[in-house]
């Protein structure tokens, strides 16, 4: 069976247009920056393919030149948008400036070299292959919670298309008689167009899976987060705290738990109103955020009660942590709330007899009650 490159081109554009039309319907309007960039990349990519097909059909040289250059700009922009999506999903990615520079240089160089078929085809395919190589690298080593296997599907698509694009560039640059135009029936070109059809579907399915994983993580964060302070709620505390506790026990590492209770909080609500109480809770949550290390587990357990689980922290370090919070709150509360605010603290460090996180928290709570009974505004062990 022979495959006609022109037919493959039409099929590619048809697939892209169908996906470009369906994705807004499937994904809706309220999208994250990553999902929005990925969807726009698809639309721009479809436009680039349309420009390629039209450039093969028009007679005037100026029209061919314009459409071909626009297609190159579209490819470069599409790849840059995909890179932005990956950076949002996976954390900061290396190579962004280089890819952006290639996206700008691609259409400019193509236009300047337009009168030399070999030069412009070699230039365009080389730069597109380099962009695809950067996208391959961008799928690796995520720095976020998104770590799904969709990354490897994208890597396969980018790598395969990069190799075929480079091969097509070599043909156009050094063997133009074998690859005289974009619809030439050379096996490398046919393979490239055929793989492009498969890759675009696989890539867009992968992007949909990434968007779904992002949505699931956002939903999980909502379930585990206290909306007022943006700290973990009780459910989040149990999930992340149990894991941190288990790791400390397994590796026999220090672990400290601080239980906090805002002093005279009921009086704040009764005398100043619940909005003032909410402001006090938000301020204390902000202070806990400001002192939080990546490995710390900090939560609002309920009402005016908070907890901070501090791995690799001993008694002395934990007392310094409490003292910093107390100084910061003493400085900030009068300015932000209009009145002083203090808290009581119970401290417990991991002991051999603590078999569960609840054992540790029970001892921390007992210390907290002793601090309150002793007059509040202090730390007790």
List the chain domain ranges. 5-223, 234-380
Q: What is the pTM of this model?
A: 0.73
The answer on pLDDT for 1 being more than 50 is no
Q: Which residues contact 298 (CB under 8 A, 6 or more apart)?
A: 231, 232, 288, 289, 292, 306, 307, 308, 309
Residue 3 pLDDT: 62
Band (107; pLDDT cuts 50, 70, 90)? very high
The residue-averaged pLDDT of 174-196 equals 83
CATH of domain 5-223: 1.20.1070
Residue 6 pLDDT: 66
Average pLDDT, the chain: 89
Contact status, residue 12 vs residue 200, Cβ threshold 8 Å: yes
Residue 287: Cβ within 10 Å count: 19
CA–CA separation, 231 and 243 (whole Å): 17
Using a 10 angstrom Cβ sphere, with 0-12 exposed, 13-18 middle and 19 or more buried, the burial of residue 150 is buried
pLDDT tens figures, 290-322: 999 889 999 999 899 999 999 999 889 999 999
pLDDT tens figures, 328-353: 999 999 999 999 999 999 999 999 88
Nearest to 19 by CA among 36, 38, 37, 43: 43
Per the document, the length of the chain is 381
Q: Tell me which CATH homologous superfamily contains domain 234-380.
A: Reverse transcriptase/Diguanylate cyclase domain (3.30.70.270)
Residue 203: Cβ within 10 Å count: 25
Contact status, residue 191 vs residue 179, Cβ threshold 8 Å: no
Fold equal for 5-223 and 234-380: no
Residue 363 pLDDT: 94
Q: With pLDDT > 90 as the criterion, what percentage of the chain qualifies?
A: 63
The answer on pLDDT for 30 being more than 60 is yes
Residue 152: Cβ within 10 Å count: 12
Greater confidence (183 vs 333) lies with 333
CA–CA separation, 324 and 346 (whole Å): 15
Nearest to 64 by CA among 22, 115, 126: 115
CA–CA separation, 336 and 287 (whole Å): 12
CA–CA separation, 157 and 146 (whole Å): 19
Q: With pLDDT > 70 as the criterion, what percentage of the chain qualifies?
A: 95
CA–CA separation, 337 and 277 (whole Å): 10
The answer on pLDDT for 375 being more than 80 is yes
The residue-averaged pLDDT of 142-167 equals 91
Band (2; pLDDT cuts 50, 70, 90)? low
The answer on pLDDT for 376 being more than 80 is yes
Residue 104 pLDDT: 96
The answer on pLDDT for 197 being more than 80 is no
């Amino acid at each position: 069976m022979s495959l006609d490159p022109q037919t493959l081109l039409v099929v590619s554009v048809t697939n892209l247009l169908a996906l470009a039309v369906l994705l807004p319907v499937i994904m809706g309007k309220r999208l994250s920056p990553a999902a929005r960039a990925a969807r726009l990349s698809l639309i721009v990519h479809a436009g680039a393919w349309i420009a390629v097909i039209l450039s093969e059909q028009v007679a005037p040289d100026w029209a061919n030149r314009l459409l071909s250059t626009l297609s190159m700009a579209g490819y470069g922009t599409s790849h840059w948008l995909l890179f932005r999506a990956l950076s949002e999903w996976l954390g900061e990615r290396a190579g962004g400036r280089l890819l952006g520079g290639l996206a700008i240089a691609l259409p400019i160089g193509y236009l300047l070299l337009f009168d030399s078929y070999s030069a412009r085809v070699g230039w365009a395919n080389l730069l597109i292959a380099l962009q695809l190589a950067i996208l391959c690298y961008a799928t690796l080593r995520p720095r976020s919670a998104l770590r799904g296997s969709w990354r490897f599907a994208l890597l396969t698509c980018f790598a395969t298309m990069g190799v075929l694009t480079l091969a097509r560039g070599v043909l156009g640059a050094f063997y133009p008689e074998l690859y005289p135009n974009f619809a030439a029936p050379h096996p490398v070109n046919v393979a490239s167009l055929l793989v492009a059809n498969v890759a675009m579907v696989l890539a867009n399915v992968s992007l949909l899976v990434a968007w779904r994983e992002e949505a699931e993580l956002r939903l999980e964060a909502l379930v585990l987060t206290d909306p007022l302070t943006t700290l973990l709620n009780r459910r989040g505390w149990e999930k992340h705290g149990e894991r941190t506790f288990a790791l400390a026990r397994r590796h026999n590492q220090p672990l400290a738990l601080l239980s906090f209770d805002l002093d005279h909080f009921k009086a704040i609500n009764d005398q100043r109103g619940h909005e003032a109480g909410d402001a006090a809770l938000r301020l204390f949550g902000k202070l806990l955020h400001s002192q939080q290390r990546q490995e710390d587990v900090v939560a609002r357990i309920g009402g005016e009660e908070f907890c901070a689980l501090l791995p690799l922290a001993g008694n002395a370090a934990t007392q310094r942590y409490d003292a910093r919070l107390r100084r910061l709150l003493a400085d900030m509360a009068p300015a932000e709330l209009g009145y002083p605010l203090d808290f009581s603290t119970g401290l417990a460090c991991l002991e051999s007899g603590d078999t569960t996180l609840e054992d540790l928290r029970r001892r921390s709570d007992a210390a907290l009650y002793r601090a309150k009974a002793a007059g509040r505004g202090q730390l007790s062990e």
